[in-house]
Amino acid sequence: MKKYLFTPGPVPVPEEILLEMARPIIHHRTADFEKIFAEVRDGLKYVFQTKEEVFVLASSGTGAMEGAVANTLSSGDKALVVDGGKFGERWTKICKAFGVEVEEIKVEWGEAVDPNLIKDALKKDPSIRAVLMQSSETSTGVMHPTKEIAAITRERDDVILIVDGITAVGVFPLPFDELRIDVLVAGSQKAFMLPPGLAFASMSGKAWKFRERSDLPKFYFDFKRYLKDAKDNTTPWTPPVALVIGLAAVLKNYKNEGLEKIHKRHATLAQGTREAIKAIGLELYAKDSPSTALTAAVSPPGIGAGKIISGLRERFGMTVAGGQDQAKGKIFRISHMGFIDRSDIIAVISAIECVLRDLGHKFDFGAGTKKASEILGAE
């Protein structure tokens, strides 16, 4: 059976990139590798829309999240965490593990945070040193208003904005320099359409000032070491050479396609998926601010999401993601990040229609596929 991967990370990897990474391994302290790494640095700055260095870490995105905290904050600092899903919770856990005090803005799963809550919290408590958030909360498929929140934090010299852009960078516009985000992290297995194993992070000048006074222990994720070695086109520790080579190839394609077009592609696929899901008679889990990275659909009453997920897997070879924690069994999530095109979305919508019909859900069979086809148009 042909296999289709619609999970919000890992995402499918283009065949030519898989083969690029299957080339014989080279050593990382050679002119050949340094040339590739120079291209990678340049390409990452292009995607992050920044003049700052973007660090290449051998870790999952969570490692870069830990680095973001450990490089900027100090023990006893207070952090304001936007907690509207599993990854928001992760910010809290990381801060607490490192002795950073946390004030949480609890957001109902499926909802986006109101930027005024952040403005108020910062006004009320001048001891807050950082706002931590997800630009796209992968567990709920919600997009938080990063631009609006950045407009608040950039007015304050004593507060930094730390953004998890793991399912955002390369998906929708998140211009690091323009918005004045202070730390932004991303991961290879999302819009970068690579296997998992690399994470990325960038820091603003303001964040580097925080770095100077930061007393949290750091070694493997010490961004200062990465900054120093990046100038020599290398990393402080042995990099995942094959993934870096794949990344260079992806970034070359990205420059050719152009960032604006990449963002537009994702936006169109997201819109087509959302409207199709609604045409099938399902609700979106993200009430008012759905993410461009993935669509979380609520399972119809009386039908567990697990049945939809297993139907897609067993009958159509398609892997979609379920819900996590409180959303488990209630939702299923379809990614449209990276190496996903119009035909993939038409195919998964059609398969969802078949599975739902056979599970007894009443709807206008074919309406979802038709809607997706209308919106996604043709090249």
Binding site for a second copy (CB under 8 A): 3, 5, 7, 9-13, 18-19, 21-30, 58-63, 66, 70, 93-94, 97-99, 187, 189, 195-197, 216-222, 236-243, 319, 321
Least separation, in Å, of the C-beta of 215 and a second copy?
10
The residue (of 318 and 375) whose beta carbon lies closer to a second copy is: 318
The residue (of 126 and 217) whose beta carbon lies closer to a second copy is: 217
The residue (of 24 and 302) whose beta carbon lies closer to a second copy is: 24
Sign of the CA dihedral 195, 198, 204, 206?
positive
Q: In a 10 Å sphere around its CB, with 0-12 CB exposed, 13-18 middle and 19+ buried, how is residue 369 labelled? A: buried
Least separation, in Å, of the C-beta of 27 and a second copy?
5
Least separation, in Å, of the C-beta of 178 and a second copy?
29
Q: 3-class DSSP state for residue 106?
A: strand
The residue (of 6 and 176) whose beta carbon lies closer to a second copy is: 6
Least separation, in Å, of the C-beta of 219 and a second copy?
4
CB 177 within 8 A of CB 267: no
The residue (of 3 and 264) whose beta carbon lies closer to a second copy is: 3
Single-letter amino acid code for the residue at 144: H
| Beta pairing partners, 290 | 142
Least separation, in Å, of the C-beta of 238 and a second copy?
5
* Alpha helices for the chain (secondary structure H): 15-21, 31-48, 61-72, 86-97, 115-124, 146-153, 176-179, 205-213, 223-230, 241-257, 259-279, 305-316, 342-358, 367-376
DSSP state of 365: T
Least separation, in Å, of the C-beta of 120 and a second copy?
29
What phi and psi, each to the nearest 5 degrees, are found at residue 132?
-120, 130
